[in-house]
Amino acid sequence: MSYGLTEEQKMFRDMVHRLAAEKVAPRAAAIDATHEFPWDIVELFAENGLMGVGMPEELGGGGADLLTFCLSVEEVARVCATSSLIIAAQHLGAMPILIAGSPEQKKRFIPPIASGAKLSAFALTEPEAGSDAGGTKTRAVRDGDRYRINGTKVFITNGGLAKTVVVFASTNPNAGVRGISAFIVDGDQHGVSVGRIENKMGIRGSQTAMLNFDDVLVDADRLLGSEGDGFKIAMRTLDRTRPGIAAQALGIAQGALDVSYHHVQTRRQFGQAIGQFEAVQFMLADMETQIEASRQLLYKAAEVVETAGFETVSSSEVTRYSAMAKLMCSDTAMRVTTDAVQLLGGYGYIQDYPVERMMRDAKITQIYEGTNQVQRLVIYRNMETESN
């Protein structure tokens, strides 16, 4: 289907599809098995302009719109969720700078991220501040023309690998979320250390780590926006990046359906291909329908969010569509991959077949960048606001 894509978007989608099939798919099982971050895939993506595909051209990026960015994540996720997260996480780390950075900050920090020369990271979550960002304990205290940062962040994608990290810290603990500020921190500077590296259920090749900040000094010109703008910057960032996670989930689901459909055409039981049994056909029909509905919502969400641009303050429509797309696509991914394992039977449960990996990878899409319970809360509150 065309989905209203331009010819350029179709060509781009097909290019990424071929690249993923030829270069990424053969590496997927090994990446999962070894738990090693795939630097070769980073290099591959950098060579093909995918690391900064959705970042402005004048800053070294590809200048693509949000839908085109989502297409890149979706096509890679069909064969390897870990590899798709390389693209998504790079944009997540860059987004606060693109949204709230000064022209000087953008020119200084975005080009190395867009080219893939430096990985980026988004450091918001803490041991006591997951869905509740108001529980942020990391402190940033003004010290002359610098800030002194102390605290701990957890579950940070690219933690310990990223050279540019946007860190959210409280500059006014008495103000709750209104006291949170955002800072650009060098990942290898003095006082930044890596704590626990998580051993995860899925996306095993992506490094997820604890980051410790011990008297980390950053110049005042590393502050994004003004003091107290951090929570607003974080929420606007997630509004723009959640469609990328929705695209990752959608790609995982599509990949699982592709494997399942091929399997039921070739696997024979009771003298015929199992795809000839009505019960199997109904499962596949439901999977296809859920994926198609999710894709339509995601592409619409990408259009809505793109129209809003890189503004610091989100509209209710942007927030709602971003949350709905992430919610629906990730729930679809979990249902579809679970059914895929069922359709493959015993083969689905062993690591020789990719649906086992896809099922494990799908689960995180319901959790990170805002749990699906939080997405439902966001959507409902948005409904309340519009009804008043």
Q: Same domain for 382 and 240?
A: yes
Q: How confident is the model at residue 279 (pLDDT cuts 50, 70, 90)?
A: very high
Q: Is 119 left (phi over 0), alpha (psi -120 to 50) or beta?
A: beta
Selecting among 292, 369, 384, 386, the annotated active-site residue is 369
**Same domain assignment for residues 150 and 166:** yes
Better pLDDT: 271 or 133: 271
Are 285 and 346 in a shared domain?
yes
Which secondary-structure segment (H or E) carries 223? strand 223-224
Tell me the CA distances in angstroms from 297 to 29, 117, 255, 303, one per residue in order.
Answer: 30, 33, 18, 10
What is the predicted pLDDT for the residue at 28?
98
Q: Which amino acid is at 355?
A: V
Q: Active-site residue 369, yes or no?
A: yes
Q: Are residues 149 and 197 in the same domain?
A: yes
Q: Which of 365, 326, 352, 364 is nearest to 259 (CA)?
A: 352
Same domain, 242 and 374: yes
Evaluate if residue 235 carries a pLDDT over 80: yes
Residue among 192, 201, 164, 166 at smallest CA distance from 181: 166
Q: What is the mean pLDDT of residues 1-13?
A: 90
The residue type of 380 is: Y
Q: Which residue has the tokens 């805002």?
A: 370
Q: What is the CATH number of the domain that holds 28?
A: 1.10.540.10
Contact between 189 and 160 under an 8 Å Cβ cutoff? The reply is no
Give the lowest-confidence range in 169-173, 178-182, 293-297, 306-310. Answer: 306-310
Spatial separation of the C-alpha atoms in residues 29 and 266, rounded to whole Å: 22
What is the DSSP annotation of 299-317? HHHHHHHHHH-S-SSPPHH
Q: What is the CATH number of the domain that holds 205?
A: 2.40.110.10
Residue 235 lies in a domain: yes
Run of H or E residues at 181: strand 180-186
* Confidence at residue 142, expressed as pLDDT on a 0 to 100 scale: 96
**Whole-angstrom Cα distance, residue 339 to residue 282?**
11
The sign of the torsion formed by the CA atoms of 184, 186, 189, 195 equals: positive
Q: Which residue type, as a one-letter code, is found at position 304?
A: V
pLDDT of residue 384: 81
For the chain, the domain total comes to 3
Residue with tokens 């459909």: 261
**Rounded Cα gap, residues 374 and 248, in angstroms:** 19
Q: Do residues 251 and 380 both lie within one domain?
A: yes
Whether 306 and 159 share a structural domain: no
Q: Which amino acid is at 195?
A: G
**Mean pLDDT, range 360-374, rounded to an integer:** 96
88 in a domain, yes or no?
yes
Model's pTM, two decimal places?
0.95
Lowest-confidence pick of 66-70, 312-316, 367-371, 375-379: 312-316
Same domain, 253 and 380: yes
* Cβ pair 236, 99 in contact under 8 A: yes
Q: Is 1 a domain residue?
A: no
Looking at per-residue pLDDT, the higher value among 88 and 133 belongs to 88
> Using 50, 70 and 90 to split pLDDT, how confident is the model at 185?
very high
- What long-range pairs does 319-323 form, CB within 8 A, spacing at least 24? 319/235, 319/239, 319/378, 319/382, 320/378, 320/379, 320/382, 321/297, 322/238, 322/239, 322/240, 322/242, 322/243, 323/242, 323/370, 323/375, 323/378, 323/379, 323/382
Segment 307-327, tens digit of pLDDT: 887 765 668 889 999 999 999
CATH number, domain containing residue 338: 1.20.140.10
CA dihedral over 44, 114, 94, 70, signed as positive or negative: negative
Q: Is 239:215 a contact under the CB 8 Å cutoff?
A: no
* Residue 260 domain boundaries: 230-387
Output the pLDDT for position 312. Answer: 59
Domain boundary (93, 115, 137) is at 115
pLDDT exceeds 70 at position 45: yes
Residue 166: which residues within 8 A CB-CB, separation 6 or more?
93, 96, 97, 120, 121, 122, 123, 182, 183, 184, 185, 224
More confident: 308 or 287: 287
Q: What is the mean pLDDT of residues 239-255?
A: 97
Shared-domain flag, residues 218 and 312: no
The reported pLDDT for the residue numbered 128 is 87
State which of 115, 139, 168 marks the end of a domain: 115
For residues 358 and 337, give the distance between their C-alpha atoms in angstroms, rounded to a whole number: 6
| Number of C-beta neighbours around residue 367 at 10 A | 15
Contact 59, 114 (CB under 8 A): yes
Q: What are phi and psi of 244, to 5 degrees?
A: -65, -40
What tokens were used for 191?
């006082």
160 lies in the same domain as 307: no
Name the residue with higher pLDDT: 328 or 313. 328
The average pLDDT across 349-375 equals 96
Same domain, 208 and 249: no
Residue 237 covered by a domain: yes
Q: Residue 123 burial (CB < 10 Å; 0-12/13-18/19+)? A: buried
The mean pLDDT value for 209-228 works out to 97
The pLDDT value recorded for residue 313 is 63
Within-domain flag for 46: yes
Q: Are residues 14 and 105 in the same domain?
A: yes
Last residue of a domain, one of 88, 115, 142: 115
- Tokens 């595909």 identify what position? 53
